[in-house]
Amino acid sequence: MGAGEFRVVPYARGRHGDGPWRVVARVFEEYGFPFAEADYDADVLWPERHYREGWFLVAEAADGEVVGCVGLSDEGGGEFELHRLYVLPGARGKGLGERLTREVIGLARAAGARRLVLFSDVAFEHAHRLYERCGFRRNRFRYAPDPWRSREWGFVLEFEEER
């Protein structure tokens, strides 16, 4: 199954329920990361409360199972942030992560972004290569604002102004 065999659609509570939460929880389990249903991780349990309508996307398998997700937020001043790009192990290696990333790049561009930033745990090396393929450059290191102070790389994609 290639990336084209998955549907990428805006999250809808009635259709997708806790699918994004299950995806992120599974990936965190795979990497041995802590995960909490409330507080810091609540955005993937309740995307409609944390993201502008249409700015949290899910990837569905043919049977409707949520196998991936990604979000976008407007941070002000022309800066947007990509959040929560996760794909289940069985759906990886098929171009789906890149497809989700490029969808968010398109949403940010359409909303007038000057730059798109993201932060990614240092352990997600495969994702870092994906971001660089999509035009992001690594620009900083930080300790995340999560309860366990994860180590993260920051990435930025600058958009040229249209004339």
Low-confidence ranges of the chain (pLDDT < 70): 1-4, 37-38, 162-163
| Bridge partners of residue 82, in order along the sequence | 72
- Which three-class secondary structure state does DSSP give residue 17? coil
Helix (H) or strand (E) holding 26: helix 19-31
Intra-chain end-to-end CA distance of the chain, in Å: 40
Please tell me the total count of domains within the chain.
1
Which range of residues forms the domain containing residue 150?
3-158
In a domain, 103, yes or no: yes
Instruction: Look up residue 25 and give its amino acid.
Output: A
We report the CATH number of the domain holding residue 103 as 3.40.630.30
Say if pTM beats, i.e. exceeds, 0.85.
Answer: yes
Distance of CA 48 to the CA centre of its chain: 15
DSSP structure string for 78-115: TEEEEEEEEE-GGGTTSSHHHHHHHHHHHHHHHTT-SE
Looking at residue 162, its pLDDT comes to: 60
In a domain, 127, yes or no: yes
Residue with tokens 């502008």: 52
State the Rg of the chain over Cα: 15
In a domain, 10, yes or no: yes
In a domain, 163, yes or no: no
In a domain, 121, yes or no: yes
Residue-wise pLDDT for 113-151, tens only, equals 999 999 999 999 999 999 999 999 999 999 988 877 889
Handedness of CA 7, 12, 17, 22 (dihedral sign): positive
